[in-house]
Amino acid sequence: MPLTEAEQIKKLLENSKHALVVFHANGNGDAIASGLALALFLEKIGKQVDLVAQDFHLPKTLKFLKRAESIRDRFPYLQKFIITVDVRRAGVQELSYDLKEEQLRIFITPQHNFLNREDIRTAQSDFKYDIIFVLGTPDLEALGGIYDNNTELFYKKPIINIDNSNGNEHFGHINLTDITATSTAEILYRLFKDWQAENIDKDIATALLTGMIGATRSFKSANVQPRALTAASELMHLGADRDFIVQNLYRTRSLATLKLWGQALSHLQHDTATGVVWITITRDEFVRSGAHADDLYDIIHEIIGTAPEAKFIVLFHEQSGPDDQTPRVHIILDALKGYDAKQILKSYPPVVGDKKQATVIIAGKTLTEVEKEIIEEIKKAVR
């Protein structure tokens, strides 16, 4: 009888020591909370775990989750470089090194005779990770530089792909995907129950429920099924405090955030023919509000929750260039009804993100010029 996906993953973990957990560069609350829950669970069963996401910045609304500050924006190291010296003939009297102008020099003083090139061999160790979990990510390219710069790692090590997106490309050696689930967190909860339910403690339950609440706007989305509500109830029974989570996710908006929302909503536009909703924020408006870049994504999430008829939601944020002269516009595009956000922005590389949400910065054009171009690109996609 063939093993289920959960049984296959458990078998792989039995022979693994160090796990890597990654999610896409624009990881949302579900991906982040799910990653933390998985890391905490794997550590409870004796595994070492690193969480990495390209250019990661922790949203302030998720800082309450245990281990949240440990997510890295790059790999600490992947392999060790090994230098082997045969000292049977010469022995070793002293070993030292120095580092100057990014040049490492190693000095070996033999006890007698001398060392030569034939006595030295070099090699690379194996990768430090022996299993990779990719969460809430439709394809490997969405991981950005984490994948692009380390393709050999992803080629050589088993990949466990866990996602609830209907656009997932099933790139893993094991694909645990369920488009009927509310979130990656819900899938993980069922996986943990299949493995060792007794290891789901208060911190893990809190992270999982946070992912589910974040993905469903507190269970207001249309894809919430009875089993999701059952899972939420069980997680609360395991120690997750729903009110505490909601307080952190939605009721801790600063005055600066509210100012930015007010300014943004005053510029909201809607094209009913194509279902595009968009907002422009000037550089001066952003500076005056005193808000943080994270708040831009909060605006997107708020509109998603209150404009269910929208097919696209776009935010145009004017920025200062490196020389404070060249105009730059930061674009966040959400495609909500089966369109491909990354594909729509492909003419403006480098695009970061996936089919559902993609971002890009366009330099050398004004806010008005960029707004006109991108809205036209979206209209082309609809047509």
pLDDT confidence bin for 308, thresholds 50/70/90 = low
All structural domains of the chain: 5-75+128-249 (3.90.1640.10), 81-124 (no CATH), 255-382 (3.10.310.30)
Over the stretch 49-95, which tens digit does the pLDDT of each residue have?
999 998 888 888 899 999 999 999 988 777 777 888 888 888 888 88
Query: Rounded to 5 degrees, what are φ and ψ at 238?
Result: -85, 0
Q: What value does the mean pLDDT of the chain take? A: 87
pLDDT at 159: 97
pLDDT at 307: 66
The radius of gyration computed from the CA coordinates of the chain, to the nearest angstrom, equals: 24
The continuous run of DSSP H or E covering 152 comes out as helix 151-156
Over the stretch 183-199, which tens digit does the pLDDT of each residue have?
999 999 999 999 888 99
Over the stretch 28-39, which tens digit does the pLDDT of each residue have?
789 999 999 999
Among the ranges given (59-68, 214-223, 367-376), the one the predictor scored with the smallest mean pLDDT: 214-223
Average pLDDT over residues 116-125: 79
pLDDT at 237: 96
pLDDT at 325: 66
Nearest of 291, 206, 284 to residue 249 by alpha carbon:
206
pLDDT at 322: 65
Residue found under tokens 């171009």: 373
Three-class SS state of 72: strand
- Characterize 116-146 residue by residue with b for buried, 16 or more Cβ atoms within 10 angstroms of its Cβ, and e for exposed: eeebeeeeeeebbbbbbbbbbbbbbebbbeb
Three-class SS state of 263: helix
Q: Which two tokens stand for residue 33?
A: 């909370």
Taking residue 90's Cβ as centre, other Cβ atoms within 10 Å add up to 18
Give the global pTM.
0.82
Average pLDDT over residues 164-185: 92
351 in Cβ contact with 345 (< 8 Å): yes
Question: Is it the case that residue 250 has pLDDT exceeding 90?
Answer: no
pLDDT confidence bin for 295, thresholds 50/70/90 = confident
Question: Is it the case that residue 326 has pLDDT exceeding 90?
Answer: no
Question: Is it the case that residue 321 has pLDDT exceeding 70?
Answer: no
Give the CA dihedral 228, 233, 239, 244, nearest 10 degrees. 80
Nearest of 122, 144, 98, 64 to residue 359 by alpha carbon:
144
Strand intervals (E) in 151-243: 159-163, 174-177
pLDDT at 158: 96
Three-class SS state of 149: coil
Regarding predicted confidence, which is higher, 103 or 250? Answer: 103
pLDDT at 80: 75
Among the ranges given (114-128, 211-225, 359-373), the one the predictor scored with the smallest mean pLDDT: 114-128
pLDDT at 1: 64
Task: Respond yes or no on whether the N-terminal peptide bond of residue 327 is cis (omega within 30° of 0).
Answer: no
* DSSP structural state of residue 128: S
Question: Is it the case that residue 171 has pLDDT exceeding 90?
Answer: yes
The continuous run of DSSP H or E covering 74 comes out as none
pLDDT at 226: 92
Q: Answer left, alpha or beta for residue 51, where phi above 0 means left and psi between -120 and 50 means alpha.
A: beta
16 in Cβ contact with 133 (< 8 Å): no
Give the long-range contacts of residues 226-235, CB within 8 A, separation 24 or more.
228/181, 228/182, 228/186, 231/186, 231/189, 231/190, 234/189, 235/189, 235/200, 235/205, 235/208, 235/209
